Amino acid sequence: MTSLTRRAFIKSSVAAASAATVGLPVSQAVLAQAKAAETGWQWDKAVCRFCGTGCGIQVATAGGRIVATKGDPAAPVNRGLNCIKGYFNGKILYGADRLTQPLMRMTNGKFDKKGPFVPVSWQVAMDEMERQFRKAYGEKGPTGVAIIGSGQYTIQEGYVAAKLMKAGFRSNNIDPNARHCMASAVAAFMQTFGIDEPANVYDDIELADTVVLWGANMAEAHPILWSRITDRKLASKATKVVNLTTYRNMSSDIADLEIVMAPSSDLAIQNYIARELVARNAVNWDFVKKHCVFATGPYDIGYGMRPTSKFAYDAEKDIQAKELEVTLGKAEALAQRRQPGDKVAQKNRTSAGKHWLISLEEFKRGLEPYTLDFVAEIAKGDPEEPMDSFKAKLVQLADLYADSKRNTMSFWTMGFNQHQRGVWVNEQCYMIHLLLGKHGTPGNGAFSLTGQPSACGTAREVGTFSHRLPADMVVDNPAHRALTEKTWKLPAKTLNPKPGSDIMGILRDLEDGAVKFLWVQVTNPFQSSPNANHWMKAAREMDNFIVVADCYPTVSGKVADLVLPAAMIFEKWGAYGNAERRTQMWRQQVDAPGEARTDIWMMLEFAKRFKVGEVWGEKSLPGLKTEGFADGKLPDVLEAAKAMGYKPEQNLYEALFATPENRKFAWPDPVAKGKANATVKALGESWFVEKALFEEYAQFGRGHHHDLAQFDVYFRDDVRGLRWPVVGGKETKYRFVEGHDPYVKAGEGYNFYGGAFKALATGNLDDVTEAKPTPIPGKAKIFFRPYAAPVEQPDKTYDLWLCTGRILEHWHTGSMTRRVSELNRAAPSAVLYMHPKDAESRGIKRNDTVWIESRRGKIKLVVDTKGRNAMPRGSVFAAFFDESLLINKLVLDAVDPISRETDFKKCAVKVWKA
Amino acid sequence: MNLSGILVVVPPERLDACAADLAALPGVEVHHTDPAAGRLIVVQEADDVDAEMAGLLAIKARPHVRLAEMIYHYFATEGEES
C-alpha cells in the first residue's frame, strides 16, 4: 500500500472508530474497515493521566508501543469524548528527552554538589542516596528528611511513600503538590462535614437548572465536564450558567450571567447571598434545624508566611511584616465589625483552624453588614462596568440561588482553593447550599472539583499529607495512630504524633537548613511553588541532597543533585481516584524506556537498605510536646517490635512491604491477562506488589465510610471505576442521604456522619464563651466567615494584580504537555494577558516583550491584549506551564493559614516595556 | 503523522453549511454526519502537536460550533509513514 492510500485508509478508520465511540450511526461496512485498520492492536481500558475529571480511555498497543488512544464510550464520566489533554496520553511516553538513566552531579567520579550531571548506574545512584539519607537522618532525625509527593501518584505509590516515611522513618515530612491544589477543599470538608470529599456526582450536571462557577474556568481546565454542561444547556432551555470570575474567560462564552469580581470578594458575595436568603425567608428551616449547626472561628489568623524577616529580600519585608500585625482597611473593617485603621495582631496564626458553635442570632448578626451596596463596592471587578449593572447581576445571582424550584449546582476549583482564606470560601459555598437544604441530592450540591488525577484517590484518601494517615485519619489523634499501628502491625508509639512540614514548610526548611534530604516524586515543585527564587537558591547553595524522580528533565531536575528516571502512567500498574470518588485502575501496557523504573520499585529498593534497628530506636524530634511522649523525642520501640516478631537486622522492605500477608498475592495473576509488571520484574519477586498493597490499604476504609471494592473488581470488563463507599458490591452516588448512602439509616433523612470536629465549644462572633464541648453528631456546620482582604494588594509601585493558572492545551508545569516527540517545533510560550488600556498607558503594544516584576523577582513575557482571557483594567494573567518563563518567581508564598495551601491568584506586580 | 477523530456539534439546521466551513480548514476532512442531532465526525491531520492543538482551537472558534472535542488519537510509527 502506498503511503497516500494507507493514509486515506487510516483516516477513514479513525473516522469510523470515532463515530462508533460516540454512537454516530455508521454502516457495518465502515465499521469493518475500522476494525481492519486495527489488526494486531490490543485495546485495554485505562484512565486519563491529566486533570481530576477522571475520563476513561481506551489504549491500543501494538509491537510494544502505544499506537492510539480514544475516549471510552462505556465511561460514564466522558462517554467517549477525550479532551485536548487526552491527546497527550499516548504521546507523553515517547518524548525525545525521556530520562533513561540516573544522572548525578559528579566530579572525578564522586558526588559533588557543584559538579555537572553524569550518567550513573542505579547501584551508584542508590548508594549515594543511601549515604546522604543516613547523614541527614543521623544529624537531624525524622524532621531532617522529606518527600514531596503528588496528586499524580498512583494510589499504591502514595501508599508506599506514606508507609515508608511514617511507619519506617517515623517522619511526617511528606506532603504532596496537592497541598498547592486541594488542601483548602479538604480542610473545609473536614470542618463542615467531619469527613473529606464531595457528596455529589457528575450526574448532577444533567439535572441542574442553575450552574454557578465560582472562579473555575471549566471550559479550559475541565473541558469534558464543560461539554456536559454545554449539552445540558442545549437540552434544557431553562438551565442558566453563571460565571463568577476575576476576568472574562472561555467559560463566559455560554454563560447567561458573567460576574467579573475583584480578587477575594467571593467571600463578600457569598455573605450577601446568605443575607438575602435569610431576609427573603428562602432558608429551608426544616433542613437547617434538623441537620445543621452554626459556627465561626477567629479572624486574626495571619497569611501563612514566615513570622520572621530573616530570610526575606528587602522588598518583601513590608508584606512579610503583616504576618504578625495588620492595619484594617475600610472594607475589611466594616466586614469584620471593626474600625478602619485598627491594628490587629494576628494572634491565631498557629491556631487558625479552631472554631466554635454560635447561635442563629449571632450568625445573622455576622451577615448584617453585607448589604448589596456594601458588597458591590468591594466586589465590582471591572472598573469600566457601571455600578448599577454590577448590582443588578448580584441580585440576579441571589434570585437564582433563592429560587426553591431550581436545582442548583455550584462548582469551584483553584479560584477558591488557592486563596488566603480558601477554607473559609469553600465553607461559605456549603453555607449557601446548606441554608437552602440543597446539598447531596440529585441536581443539587456544592461540588469541589479537583485539578489532578488522584488528588482525591491518593493524596487525600491514602493520606500523603504531613498531618494525615489513611482514610481521613490524622497523626495528632492518638486513637487514629493506634488504629494505624494495629493495621500496619507496628509497635505502639512507632508513629510520630507531630504533624510534619507541609510543602511550603519543606521548601522553607531547605532554606533554613532544617531539611537536608529531599526526595521529589511525580511532581515539579521548584517550578510549581511560589516565590521560587528562594527555593532554587536553597537547593543549590545549602548543604542538602535533592533527589528528583521524573520522566523528563524538569526545572526541579535541574536544581537536583540526583535525577532518577521514572516509568510513567501506562508503563506501570496503577489506580487513580477522581473528584466524584470514582476509583479507576489500569494494567501496565508497555515497558518503560532504557533503565527507567517505577517509583514503587525505587522506594522498595531504598527500603531494603535500612534496618528496623536503625529507625525504631529512640529518635530526637525537636518541639515534640504530646501527651504520652517524652518531650522532644520518639521512644525506642525495638523491644516491643522484637516481641511482635521483628528482628533489628530485618530491612524495611521485609518489615513493611514484603510481609507474609502481602506475599500471598502471587504474580503472575490472571487479572493481568498476560500484561507485564515492571515493579515485580525489577524486584525479581513473585508477589503482586500493586495488588497486595491496594488490598492492605483498603482495610483502612472498609467499614469506615471509605469502602473500596476488591482489586480485581476494578478490572472487570463491565466496570468503569466505582464511586466509594462501595458496600455490598454497590457504589454510592449521594453521600449522607437516606436511600443512597448505606451508612445512613432509614428514618434519618440525612446523616452527616463524619467524625472530625464534632464536639465544639460555644461562643459569639468574637470568641468562645463556654469552653465545655457540645457534641454535634450527624450535623453539618453552617459557618459564618467574614470578608478578608488579600495581604498584598496593588499600590503605587506594584500597581497591577497578577493571577496565575493553567490553560486548555497545557497541563500544570508542562513537563509532559510541552514535551512530545516532534523535534524542531516552535515552542509556544506563556504570554501575559493584559487590558489594552493598561498596555497603552505603559506604551506597550500587543506582542511587545515586557518586564513583569513583583517584590520577589522579575521575568520577561510577551503581552497579549486580545487573546482568550480578557482582563479587566488593573489585572494581568499568566500561565505557569512555561519552564523558561517561571512566573512563580513572582508569586507571593502566602498560604491559607488553616489549609496551608498557597494563593497563586493574588499578588501585586508592575509591568514595563523591555 | 498525527490523526485525530473529533466530534463537532452544531445546530442541526446549519449542519451542511458548517460541514462545508469545517472542510475548508487545513488538514480537516468531514467524514460522517448525524443530521438529526447536528453532529459531525471530522478527521484532522497535523504535522505536529502544536498544529494539532491549534487546529482543534480553530474548529472550536468557527461560527455556530457548540462543541468540538477529540475522541480518537492515532500516532503513526516511523515504519508506517515511510
Above 50 in pLDDT, residue B79? no
The pLDDT tens digits of the residues spanning B38-77 come to 999 999 998 877 788 889 989 998 999 988 999 999 986 5
Residue A22 is nearest to which of B7, B31, B42, comparing CB atoms? Answer: B7
The confidence score (pLDDT) of residue B76 equals 66
- In A, which residues are within 8 Å of B12 by CB distance? none
Which residue in this structure is represented by grid cell 442548583?
A408
Between the two ends of chain A, the Cα-to-Cα distance in Å is 55
CB contact under 8 A, A223 and B56: no
Q: What share of chain B is helix, strand, coil (3-state, %, to 5)?
A: 35, 40, 25
Question: Which grid cell sits at A686?
Answer: 513473585
A227 inside domain:
yes
Above 80 in pLDDT, residue A815? no
CA pair distance A154, A157, nearest whole angstrom: 5
The confidence band for A827, taking pLDDT boundaries of 50, 70 and 90, is very low
- Which residues, listed in sequence order, are joined to residue A620 by a DSSP beta bridge? A633
Q: Give me the amino acid identity at A868.
A: R
Question: Mean per-residue pLDDT for A476-500?
Answer: 98
- Under 8 Å between Cβ of A52 and A412: no
CB contact under 8 A, A70 and B45: no
CB contact under 8 A, B5 and A21: yes
* Count of H-run helices and E-run strands, chain B: 3, 4
The average confidence (pLDDT) of chain A is 95
B50 inside domain:
yes
Rounded to the nearest angstrom, the gap between the alpha carbon of residue A388 and the centroid of all alpha carbons in its chain is 38
CB contact under 8 A, A87 and B52: yes
CA distance A79 to chain B (A): 10
Which residue in this structure is represented by grid cell 496520553?
A89
Residue A24 is nearest to which of B1, B39, B52, comparing CB atoms? Answer: B39
Residues A685 and A713 occupy one common structural domain: no
Residues A293 and A229 occupy one common structural domain: yes
A302 inside domain:
yes
Question: Which grid cell sits at A76?
Answer: 460514564
- In B, which residues are within 8 Å of A81 by CB distance? 7, 69-71
User: Is the four-CA dihedral A534, A540, A545, A549 of positive or negative sign?
Assistant: positive
Residue B41 is nearest to which of A15, A223, A808, comparing CB atoms? Answer: A15
The confidence band for A812, taking pLDDT boundaries of 50, 70 and 90, is low
Question: Mean per-residue pLDDT for A51-77?
Answer: 95
Q: Count of CB atoms within 10 A of residue A667's CB? A: 18
CATH number of the domain enclosing B64: 3.30.70.920
Q: Count of CB atoms within 10 A of residue B23's CB? A: 12
- In B, which residues are within 8 Å of A218 by CB distance? none
CB contact under 8 A, A70 and B5: yes
Question: Mean per-residue pLDDT for A641-662?
Answer: 98
- Name the helix (H) or strand (E) containing A45: strand A42-47
B51 inside domain:
yes
Question: Which grid cell sits at B55?
Answer: 487546529
Question: Mean per-residue pLDDT for A557-579?
Answer: 97
- Which residues, listed in sequence order, are joined to residue A895 by a DSSP beta bridge? A902
Residues A488 and A636 occupy one common structural domain: yes
pTM for the structure as a whole: 0.96
- Under 8 Å between Cβ of A144 and A517: yes
CA pair distance A69, B3, nearest whole angstrom: 11
Question: Mean per-residue pLDDT for A95-100?
Answer: 91
Residue B73 is nearest to which of A24, A87, A94, comparing CB atoms? Answer: A87
Torsion of CA A322, A350, A447, A284, to 10 degrees: -100
CB contact under 8 A, B29 and A24: no
Within 22-81 of B, beta carbons closer than 8 Å to A belong to: 29, 31-32, 34, 39, 41-43, 45, 47-50, 52-53, 56-57, 66-67, 69-77, 80-81
Higher pLDDT, A545 or A868: A545
Question: Mean per-residue pLDDT for A8-18?
Answer: 91
Above 70 in pLDDT, residue A416? yes
Q: Give me the amino acid identity at A824.
A: N
Above 80 in pLDDT, residue B1? no
Taking the Cβ of residue B20 and every Cβ of chain A, the question of whether any pair is shorter than 8 Å is answered with: no
CA pair distance A433, A742, nearest whole angstrom: 23
Quote the crossing angle between the two packed helices A155-163 and A689-701, to the nearest 10°.
80
A904 inside domain:
yes
- Flag the least confident range among A238-252, A357-371, A626-640, A824-838: A824-838
B52 inside domain:
yes
Q: Give me the amino acid identity at A223.
A: P
CA distance A402 to chain B (A): 30
> What are the Cα distances from residue A604, in Å, to A490, A548, A651, B49?
18, 16, 10, 37
- In B, which residues are within 8 Å of A71 by CB distance? 70-72
Residues A463 and A397 occupy one common structural domain: no
Residues A824 and A903 occupy one common structural domain: yes
Residues A541 and A672 occupy one common structural domain: yes
A355 inside domain:
yes
Above 60 in pLDDT, residue A705? yes
User: Is the four-CA dihedral B59, B61, B62, B68 of positive or negative sign?
Assistant: positive
Residues A427 and A467 occupy one common structural domain: no
- Is residue A181 part of the annotated active site? The answer reads yes
A662-666: Cβ within 8 A, 24+ apart? A662/A687, A662/A689, A662/A692, A662/A693, A662/A696, A663/A687, A663/A692, A664/A692, A665/A691, A665/A692, A665/A695
- Is residue A182 part of the annotated active site? The answer reads yes
The confidence score (pLDDT) of residue B49 equals 74
Residue A7 is nearest to which of B1, B72, B82, comparing CB atoms? Answer: B1
CA pair distance A186, A166, nearest whole angstrom: 21
CATH number of the domain enclosing A134: 3.40.50.740
Residue B71 is nearest to which of A30, A80, A809, comparing CB atoms? Answer: A80
A319 inside domain:
no
A834 inside domain:
yes
- Is residue A346 part of the annotated active site? The answer reads no
Q: Count of CB atoms within 10 A of residue A629's CB? A: 17
A327 inside domain:
no
Question: Which grid cell sits at B7?
Answer: 466530534
> How many C-alpha atoms does B24 have within 13 Å on its Cβ side?
7
B29 → chain A, closest CA residue: A11
The confidence score (pLDDT) of residue A826 equals 42
Residues A550 and A619 occupy one common structural domain: yes
Which residue in this structure is represented by grid cell 464534632?
A758
With 0-12 / 13-18 / 19 or more C-beta atoms within 10 angstroms meaning exposed / middle / buried, residue A432 is buried
- Which residues, listed in sequence order, are joined to residue A730 by a DSSP beta bridge? A727
Q: Which of A85, A163, A393, A516 is catalytic?
A: A85
Q: Which residues contact A892 (CB under 8 A, 6 or more apart)?
A: A319, A530, A531, A791, A792, A854, A855, A856, A903, A906, A907
CA pair distance A69, A86, nearest whole angstrom: 8
Q: Which of A55, A28, A89, A83 is nearest to B7 (CA)?
A: A83
CA pair distance A57, A721, nearest whole angstrom: 12
Whether omega before B63 lies within 30 degrees of 0, making that bond cis, reads no
> What are the Cα distances from residue A263, in Å, to A152, A327, A380, A419?
29, 19, 9, 9
Q: ∠ CA A443-A446-A452 to the nearest 5 degrees?
A: 110
Residues A849 and A773 occupy one common structural domain: no
What is the domain extent for residue A809? 800-913
Question: Which grid cell sits at A227?
Answer: 461539554
Q: Count of CB atoms within 10 A of residue B79's CB? A: 7
- In A, which residues are within 8 Å of B80 by CB distance? 6
Q: Which of A647, A685, A684, A683 is nearest to A664 (CA)?
A: A685
Which residue in this structure is represented by grid cell 486519563?
A48
Q: Which of A794, A601, A563 is nearest to A693 (CA)?
A: A601
Q: Count of CB atoms within 10 A of residue A112's CB? A: 14
CA pair distance A771, A767, nearest whole angstrom: 10
What is the domain extent for residue B73? 2-77
Q: Give me the amino acid identity at A443.
A: G
- Is residue A452 part of the annotated active site? The answer reads yes
CB contact under 8 A, B32 and A71: no
Total length of chain B: 82
- Flag the least confident range among A124-128, A347-351, A664-668, A877-881: A877-881
CB contact under 8 A, B72 and A19: no
The confidence band for A823, taking pLDDT boundaries of 50, 70 and 90, is very low
CA distance B34 to chain A (A): 6
CA distance B69 to chain A (A): 6
Q: Give me the amino acid identity at A157.
A: E
Residues A207 and A72 occupy one common structural domain: no
- Flag the least confident range among A33-37, A499-503, A675-679, A707-711: A33-37
- Which residues, listed in sequence order, are joined to residue B53 by a DSSP beta bridge? none
- Under 8 Å between Cβ of A158 and A185: no
The pLDDT tens digits of the residues spanning A228-264 come to 999 999 889 999 999 999 999 989 988 999 999 999 9
Above 60 in pLDDT, residue A47? yes
The confidence score (pLDDT) of residue A33 equals 81
- Under 8 Å between Cβ of A256 and A359: no
- In A, which residues are within 8 Å of B43 by CB distance? 11, 14-15, 18
CA distance B11 to chain A (A): 10
Cβ-count burial A319-328 (b if 16+ within 10 Å, e if not): bbebbeebeb
- DSSP letters along A81-127, please? ---TTTTHHHHGGG-TT---S-EEEEETTEE-TTSPEEE--HHHHHH
- A572: helix, coil or strand? coil
- DSSP letters along A771-822, please? EEEEE-TTPEEEE-------SS---SSS-EEEEEE--TT--TT-TTTT--S-
- Which residues, listed in sequence order, are joined to residue A541 by a DSSP beta bridge? none
- B71: helix, coil or strand? strand
Provide Rg for chain A, Cα atoms.
27
Question: Which grid cell sits at A692?
Answer: 497486595
CA distance B25 to chain A (A): 16
A475 inside domain:
yes
Tell me A872's DSSP state: P
> How many C-alpha atoms does A693 have within 13 Å on its Cβ side?
29
The confidence score (pLDDT) of residue B50 equals 76
The pLDDT tens digits of the residues spanning A843-853 come to 999 999 999 99
Domain count, chain B: 1
B75 → chain A, closest CA residue: A67
Domain count, chain A: 5
Residues A731 and A643 occupy one common structural domain: no
- A757: helix, coil or strand? coil
The confidence score (pLDDT) of residue A84 equals 81
Higher pLDDT, B50 or A876: A876
B82 inside domain:
no
The confidence score (pLDDT) of residue A816 equals 66
Size of interface A-B (CB pairs under 8 A): 133
- Under 8 Å between Cβ of B31 and A12: yes
The confidence score (pLDDT) of residue A126 equals 98
B33 → chain A, closest CA residue: A24
Between the two ends of chain B, the Cα-to-Cα distance in Å is 11
Residues A162 and A254 occupy one common structural domain: no
CA distance A905 to chain B (A): 25
CB contact under 8 A, B73 and A90: yes
Q: Which of A451, A500, A577, A814 is catalytic?
A: A451
- Which of A36, A52, A86 is the C-terminal boundary of a domain? A86
The confidence band for A333, taking pLDDT boundaries of 50, 70 and 90, is very high
Q: Which of A556, A569, A568, A662 is nearest to A607 (CA)?
A: A662
